[in-house]
Amino acid sequence: MLDRRHFLKWGVLLAFMPLPALSKEVEFIRLFADVALQGSNYTDSQFALWNDSFQKAVSFRPVHEQEELSRLLSALDFAPSRWLLGGPWKDWSLERRSDLDLMLNSWKSSRFDLLKKGYSGLISLTQSSWYALDQSWPGIDYPGPPDKWWAT
């Protein structure tokens, strides 16, 4: 039987564990990463590293921002709300990068601040998660932090 002490221990432990992303969410995030990181030409293993970095970056955000991101991803998963936000009616798995790129560009130049904030937040999380990885640095000719320069 689970007593109060064990319940609290498990609750604390599980509260700090990142939740695994749902497969549809990962599918959208993969498509989004392809658009946001144009020209990066990352491999599947690099995507896995980036996805871990992205999930970690999200987990360090305040709870209300995590909830907003979750609501945005849920809205982009539901066809009617996706369509209202400027996305396609079809599922993301059937879409091309150009369709998502078109939607994101419309968000970037939207007259609605909510869409601009959604664009800005997703892009900044995506790019900061990518450039935090050592594996992305050669693609932009970044030698690394100064302590790495002095060591050579």
Q: Where are the domains of the chain?
A: 44-151
* Nearest-angstrom CA–CA distance, 96 and 127: 20
* Nearest-angstrom CA–CA distance, 123 and 127: 6
User: If you ran DSSP here, which 8-state letter would residue 93 be given?
Assistant: G
Q: How many helices and strands, by DSSP H and E, does the chain display?
A: 8, 0
Check residues 138 and 66 and name the one with the higher pLDDT.
Answer: 66
Q: Which element (helix H / strand E) includes 32? A: helix 23-36
pLDDT for 12 equals 57
Amino acid at 94: L
Distances in Å between the Cα of 44 and the Cα atoms of 47, 48, 139 are: 5, 6, 16
Q: What is the average pLDDT score of the chain?
A: 78
* Nearest-angstrom CA–CA distance, 119 and 52: 21
pLDDT for 8 equals 60
Contact 102, 119 (CB under 8 A): no
Check residues 40 and 72 and name the one with the higher pLDDT.
Answer: 72
SS3 content of the chain, % helix, strand, coil (to 5): 70, 0, 30
Tens digits of residue pLDDT in 78-133 = 888 888 888 888 877 666 777 888 888 999 999 988 889 989 988 999 888 888 88
Amino acid at 117: K
Give the model's confidence band at 146: pLDDT under 50 very low, under 70 low, under 90 confident, else very high.
confident
User: If you ran DSSP here, which 8-state letter would residue 18 be given?
Assistant: P
Tens digits of residue pLDDT in 128-138 = 888 888 888 87
pLDDT reading at 145 higher than 70: yes
Task: Please calculate the CA angle 41-88-122 and round it to the nearest 5 degrees.
Answer: 50
Tens digits of residue pLDDT in 3-61 = 666 556 655 555 554 444 445 667 778 888 888 888 677 778 888 888 899 989 999 89
